[in-house]
Amino acid sequence: MIDEKMCVSVSNDKLMCRFDPQLHQDIAKKEGFEPMIMKGRIYKGYGYVNEVGYMTEKDFEYWLELCLSFNKSAKASKK
């Protein structure tokens, strides 16, 4: 959580990322990306990245920067 907004987390060996939903189609093409699916629905702007997607420091930094840059404009969750 950053500024009371979900940004990025770690679950087992995957990163869970929140990013600009408008980028979803391009992000989905990245190696290691897995869509977040709940109740049969793909959540645009959210996804998982498995080990293949963040093996290098450069790849890891890419995902963190992606999430951090969106966090600035993301809406906070309702309390």
pLDDT in tens, 10-59: 988 999 999 999 999 999 999 999 999 999 999 999 999 999 999 999 99
> How far is Cα 30 from Cα 60, in angstroms, rounded to an integer?
12
Q: What pLDDT score was predicted for residue 59?
A: 95
User: Residue 61 region, left (φ>0) first, then alpha (ψ -120 to 50), else beta?
Assistant: alpha
Q: Give pLDDT tens digits for 2-23.
A: 677 777 889 889 999 999 999 9
SS3 (DSSP) at 56: coil
Q: What pLDDT score was predicted for residue 31?
A: 95
Q: What pLDDT score was predicted for residue 3?
A: 72
User: What predicted TM-score, i.e. pTM, was given to this entire model?
Assistant: 0.85
